[in-house]
Amino acid sequence: MGQVEEGLTVLAKAQAIVSKNGGYELEAELYRLKGELTLQQVVNQKSKSPDPRSLTPDLQGEAEACFLKAIEIAQRQQAKSLELRAVVSLVRLRQHHAQNPESCNTDHASRTTQHEARTRLNEAHDMLSEIYNWFTEGFDTKDLQEAQALLAELSH
């Protein structure tokens, strides 16, 4: 709803509560949401400053780190639905990098950067395919439908 800073503050409080009182089953989702809100900061930053050199590429790296942490936690907890959500978020981020390399770096995009972005997207695609294929039911749920659509989109 456009209240990114407030959302990040609430998530920080929630993470502190989880660390103090338990409730670790929520931890992966908290990291994923933090990544999504961090990406929203990038979007907000771009709307305020059309010059890509003034953007903070660290925010995109921070968002990716949050998604990777969420995936790691979900895998450790064997929380497949949370893992699926985090992988979908990671794929979307890497898809954006592969399609818009100039918006993800402070330097001009090079063939090497584009190749690296495509390689990283392929790795994320493989992760998504693996987690999606783990499921044997629930294909009418929003998360699995979104994953299926993303897999189809990346296959073209």
CB 132 within 8 A of CB 147: yes
pTM of the model: 0.84
Q: What is the count of structural domains for the chain?
A: 1
Q: Which of 5, 10, 74 is nearest to 38 (CA)?
A: 5
Q: Which runs of E-coded beta strand occur in the chain?
A: none
By residue range, what is the domain housing residue 26?
4-155
pLDDT in 10s for each residue of the chain, 156 residues: 678 888 999 999 998 888 888 878 889 999 999 999 999 887 776 666 555 544 466 888 999 999 999 999 999 999 999 999 999 999 999 998 888 766 655 444 456 688 899 999 999 999 999 999 999 999 999 999 999 999 999 987
The whole-number pLDDT of residue 16 equals 87
C-beta pairs of 113-121 under 8 Å, 24+ apart in sequence: 120/94, 121/91, 121/94, 121/95, 121/97, 121/154
Other C-beta atoms closer than 10 Å to the C-beta of 128 total 21
Q: Specify the pLDDT at position 156.
A: 79
DSSP 8-state secondary structure symbol assigned to residue 109? P
CATH code at position 15: 1.25.40
Q: Which pLDDT does position 106 carry in this prediction?
A: 45
DSSP characters for 22-48? --GGGHHHHHHHHHHHHHHHHHHHHHH
> Residue 144 has which token pair?
């699995």
Give pLDDT, residue 99: 86
First-residue to last-residue Cα distance in the chain: 32
> Rounded to an integer, what distance in angstroms lies between the CA atom of residue 94 and that of residue 68?
12
Half-sphere exposure of 114 (CA within 13 A, CB side): 7
- Which residue bears the tokens 């009182």? 21
CB 7 within 8 A of CB 37: yes
